[in-house]
C-alpha cells in the first residue's frame, strides 16, 4: 500500500508541471525528469508493478540516485537571482557529475562506490567509518566555495 502511495506522490508534481505548462522553463524540465525517474524507480522497486531482474533494478536505482543532485541543482537555476550564482550552480553541476563519474569509473557500480557516493547507505551494510566520507568531504569543499 505504501508503495502505491509513494508512486502516486511522485506522479502528482510531474502532472502539475505538465498541466501548468511549466516545462517551458528549462529548470522545470530538470525537475520533471527527476520526478519521472523517481516514479519509474518506485514502479520497479517499491510497487512491483513491473517485474524485472533484481540486478537491473539495483543498477537503475544507482543511476537514479546519481542523477538526484545534478537534476536538483539544475532546478535551482530557476531561482538563482544573479548571473554569478547561476554560473556557480552550472559549474557545481559539472563538477559533481565529474566527481560521480570518477567514482564510478574507479569502483564501477560496486558497494564501495555506493558507500562513497551515498553515505546514508553505509548503515544498511557492514562497512567501515571511512565509507561515505568522500561525498561529505566533497560537499564541505563545495559549501566553502559557493559562499
For residue 21, how many other CB atoms are within 10 A of its CB?
9
User: Hey, where are the domains in the chain?
Assistant: 1-79, 81-147
Residue 18: the pLDDT is 92
pLDDT at 58 over 90: no
C-beta of residue 68 within 8 angstroms of C-beta of residue 84 = no
pLDDT > 90 in the chain, percent = 12
> Would you say the pTM of this structure is higher than 0.85?
no
| Residues 121-132, mean pLDDT to the nearest whole number | 45
Of the chain, the end-to-end C-alpha distance in Å amounts to 43
pLDDT at 20 over 90: yes
pLDDT at 10 over 70: yes
The better pLDDT of the pair 55, 2 is held by: 55
Instruction: Give the helix/strand (H/E) hosting 120.
Output: none
| Residues 124-139, mean pLDDT to the nearest whole number | 50
Amino acid at each position: 500500500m505504501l508503495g502505491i502511495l509513494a508512486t502516486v506522490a511522485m506522479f502528482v508534481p510531474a502532472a502539475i508541471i505538465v498541466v501548468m505548462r511549466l516545462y517551458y522553463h528549462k529548470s522545470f524540465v530538470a525537475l520533471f525528469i527527476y520526478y519521472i525517474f523517481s516514479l519509474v524507480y518506485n514502479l520497479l522497486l517499491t510497487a512491483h508493478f513491473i517485474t524485472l531482474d533484481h540486478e537491473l533494478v539495483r543498477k537503475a536505482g544507482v543511476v537514479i540516485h546519481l542523477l538526484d543532485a545534478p537534476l536538483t541543482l539544475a532546478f535551482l537555476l530557476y531561482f538563482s537571482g544573479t548571473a554569478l550564482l547561476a554560473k556557480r550552480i552550472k559549474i557545481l553541476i559539472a563538477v559533481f557529475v565529474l566527481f560521480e563519474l570518477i567514482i564510478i569509473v574507479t569502483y564501477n557500480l560496486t558497494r564501495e562506490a555506493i558507500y562513497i557516493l551515498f553515505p546514508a547507505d553505509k548503515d544498511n551494510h557492514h562497512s567501515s567509518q571511512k565509507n561515505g566520507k568522500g561525498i561529505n568531504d566533497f560537499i564541505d569543499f563545495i559549501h566553502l566555495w559557493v559562499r
